Amino acid sequence: MDKNALEIGKVSDMFINSEEGLINIITISTGEFGIRKKDIEIEPDKISVLGDYMLLNIEKADIDDVD
């Protein structure tokens, strides 16, 4: 979810530094029902809250502009 609680997509992968136990990159799959599907990478500094849902501190429009 973006900072306005709009759904962006689903987490499809995580790259974790096993020595430090820290998340390096999270991959989110966007698009509805496979239409215009794309994967985007989110860096940890863009994450506001991580729990049952991941809340980002950026807007959905910022992600839609990423190619």
State the 10-residue block means of pLDDT for the chain, 67 residues long: 88 90 88 73 86 85 65
Is the model's pTM score more than 0.85?
no
Question: What are the residue boundaries of the structural domains of the chain, listed by start?
Answer: 9-64
pLDDT for the residue numbered 50:
76
Q: What is the C-alpha separation between 14 and 11, in angstroms, rounded?
A: 8
pLDDT for the residue numbered 65:
58
